[in-house]
Amino acid sequence: MAGSLDNEQTLPSVWTNQLLGALEPDSRKRIDPHLEPVEFKLGEMVCDAGGYLKHAYFPQGSVLSLLTVLENGSAIETANIGREGAFGLFAAMYSRVSFNRCIVQLDGHTVRCPIQPLQYEFKNSEHVRDLFVSYSETLLSQIQQTVACNAMHTTEERMCRWLLMMHDRAGNEALPYTHEFLSHILGANRKSVTLAAQSMQNAGLISYRRGRMQVLDRAALEEASCECYAIVKERFDAFLNPPSTAVQGHNRGRSKSKPGRMG
C-alpha cells in the first residue's frame, strides 16, 4: 500500500508537476491544502481497471503506467504519465471509474488530491477546464500513437521509443527493468525483447546488466526509434500552451497525401 509522507517535508516541491504548476494562483490556494504526498514502490498498483477513484495522482519524479487489461488477465501498456501530467483527471471531469489499471513504472515522489476539490475547479474555472481538457486530449493522442506503434513497428523500435520516454523522466539514472517486465509492458514475447536488447547493446545504444538498463547513446537511440516517440513528445511539450491554429480551423496534417487526393 502507498504510504503518506510528511507534508512539511515534501510539499515545497509540489509545483514540479507541470499540471499543478500551471494552475492560476486562486486555484492553487484552494487545492494546496488538499494535496497529500504519497510513496509508491516500483510495480505497485495505484488503481485496478474498473476501480473507483477517490484521488487524482500527480507524479513529481515517479512514472505511472496505464495498462489495458483483457479478459484472460493479460495487460499491455497504452500510456505512461510523468511529472507533466496526472492520473485520475477523468474522475474529476466525468466519471470516477478507471478504465485502465494504473501501476508504478518508475518510483519517485507523487502527490494526490481528493476528487472533490478538482471537480470544483473544473466546474468553476475556465482556465482549469481548458488545462484539464488539453492534457486529456494529449494523453489520448499518446494512447492512439501507442496503439499504432504496437501494431506496426518492430519490437526493437518500440523498445527504443519506450526507453526514450523513461529516460526523459529518469535522466541519467539506470532503469530497473527486466526483460520479463518489458515483455509485459510492450505486449511482446520474452525472446523478441531479449533479442532486441542484445541488438541495442551490441550497437552501443544501451548497457544491460542484472536487470538494470543504462542509456549510453541518446542520439543513436532516437535514430533507432520509430517516429512515435518524437510525435508524442511534441504534443506533450506543447499541451500547456496550445497553438491558436488549434481553434481556428487549421487542418494541415502530417500525412503526405498524393496531389488531388481528398482527405
Same domain, 143 and 16: yes
Question: Looking at residue 100, what DSSP letter applies?
Answer: S
Average pLDDT, 10 consecutive residues per value, the chain (263 residues): 46 70 94 94 93 94 93 90 93 86 93 95 93 93 94 95 91 84 89 94 92 92 95 90 51 49 34
CATH number of domain containing 55: 2.60.120.10
The pLDDT score that the predictor gives to residue 15 is 62
The pLDDT score that the predictor gives to residue 52 is 93
Give start and end residues of each alpha helix (H) in 125-260.
Answer: 126-152, 155-170, 179-186, 190-202, 218-224, 228-238
Question: Looking at residue 119, what DSSP letter applies?
Answer: H
Same domain, 119 and 195: no
Burial of 16 by CB count in 10 Å (0-12 exposed, 13-18 middle, 19+ buried)?
middle
Same domain, 210 and 114: no
Same domain, 43 and 137: yes
β-pair type (101-106, 75-81): unpaired
CB-based contacts of 100: which residues, under 8 Å, 6+ apart?
A: 49, 66, 67, 68, 69, 78, 79
Give the closest residue to 156 by CA, choosing from 110, 206, 82.
Answer: 206
pTM score of the predicted model: 0.84
The verdict on residue 36 lying in a domain is: yes
- Whether residue 47 contacts residue 116, with contact meaning beta carbons closer than 8 Å, is answered with no
The pLDDT score that the predictor gives to residue 20 is 94
How far is the CA of 21 from the CAs of 16, 32, 133, in angstroms? 7, 11, 16
Residues spanned by the domain of 209: 154-225
Same domain, 197 and 135: no
